[in-house]
Amino acid sequence: MDQSAPPPYRRITDELRRRIDIGELAPGDRVPSTRRITQEWGVAMATATKALTALRQEGLVTVVPGVGTVVAEERRAARVEPVRERRPREGDTGLSRDAVVRAGLKIADAEGLRALSMRRVAAEFGVSSMALYRHVANKDELVLLMADAAFDGVDLPDPAPDGWRDRMEAGARLQWALYQRHPWLAQYLSITRPQPTPRGMALIEWTMARVAGMAPLTLIHMAITLLNYVRATAAGFEDDREAEQESGMDRNQWMASMEPVFDGILRSGAYPMYAGIDGTEGDEVTLETLFEFGLARLLDGMETLVEGRAPSPGGPA
C-alpha cells in the first residue's frame, strides 16, 4: 500500500476544489451531495461526509437549508470587480415594517431561520442593512414580529366547535398546520421564556375558550401542555429539513443507509419491542402518526380531568 497516497476523502476534496477554481462550479451552484459522491467515487458515506466537511472548513462551500451544499458566495468577490452599491431613496425601496417582516418570513420559510440575517433581508430590497434599522431594531425583534405575523395567517373555523374537546382538538390542528407552513416556528417558540406574540396568544385563548369550571392555574397548565405537545412534535419538520441538507439524503434514503446498523442491533435479541415492528413499512411511524396518536391520548387525559372522573395527582389545583 502506498503510504504517500492521499486519503480518499482528500482526493475528493481536491477534485471538487479544482471544479470550483476553474468555474465549473460557480458561487451558488450545488456541489455533489454525499449520496452522489458515494456513487461517483465509490466510497463510503462517512468518507463523502468528511470530504464535504473539509470543504466547509476551508470556506469553499456552505449549507443552505432548503437548497443543499453550495459553493460559497464569498468566492465571487475574488472573481469580479466590486460594484458600487446603488442606494435607492427611501421612497423607492418598498421598505416598511410590514414589508421587512414579509421578506423575513419568505426567507425563513424557504431556507430556515439559520439562513436569516439582516443583510440577507436587505438584499431583497437592494439596500444596505442599515436601512432596515429604521423599521426594526435588530434581528431578534424581526424574528419576533415574524412569529406573530405567522399566527395572523391562521383562519379560525366559523362556526367554531362548541364542545371543549372539539375546540381543543381544532386548536391543536390549526397549530400543526401552521408549523407545516412555517417549519422554523416550532423551534423558535419557547415555553420557558415565552415570546410576547399577541396573535399567538389569541389562538390559545380561542383553543381553550370552551373549557369551563377549571381553576386558572389548571387551565393555563392545560393550554401550555397542549401547545408544547404540538410544538415539540412539529419541531421535527425543521430537524428533518436541516438533516437532509446536511447529509444530502431524505428520510427514506437515510433510513436505508442505517438499515445494516439497525439490523445488527435487532439481531442481538435485547430489544424485543423494536424487533416487533421489524419489516413494517417506513411510513407507519412518521411525524403525522405520532401527532395523531399523541393528540388523541393527550385529550383522553384532559377529558378525565375536565369531566372530573379522577383527580389530577401532583398537578395544580
For residue 66, what pLDDT is reported?
A: 54
> Which pairing describes strands 61-64 and 68-71: parallel, antiparallel, or unpaired?
antiparallel
Angle between helix 164-181 and helix 216-247 axes, rounded to 10 deg? 30
Phi, psi of 69 (to 5 degrees): -85, 125
Bridge partners for 30 per DSSP: 70
φ, ψ of residue 270 to 5 degrees: the values are -90, -5
d(CA 225, CA 207): 12
Distance set, CA 197 to CA 97, 152, 167, 300 (Å):
16, 10, 21, 29
Mean pLDDT split into 10-residue runs, the chain, 317 residues: 69 90 82 85 84 86 72 51 38 78 92 88 89 90 94 89 93 94 92 88 93 91 94 85 72 72 77 72 78 93 81 48
Q: Yes or no: say if 191 and 220 are a contact pair by the CB < 8 Å rule.
A: no
pLDDT confidence of residue 52: 87
Cell of 91: 421612497
The residue count for the chain:
317
CA pseudo-torsion sign 107, 108, 112, 115: positive
pLDDT of residue 76: 37
Q: For residues 259 and 268, what is the distance between their CA atoms, to the nearest angstrom?
A: 15
Q: How far apart are CA 61 and CA 313, in angstroms?
A: 54
Q: At what angle do helices 34-41 and 45-57 cross, to 10 degrees?
A: 120
Tell me the chain's radius of gyration from C-alpha atoms: 25
Reference 68, options 103, 11, 112, 117; nearest CA is 112
What's the predicted TM-score (pTM) here?
0.63
In the chain, the domains with their CATH numbers are 8-78 (1.10.10.10), 90-152 (1.10.10.60), 164-248+286-306 (1.10.357.10)
Q: Reduce the DSSP state of residue 63 to 3 states and report it.
A: strand
Which positions ≥6 away from 259 have C-beta within 8 Å? none
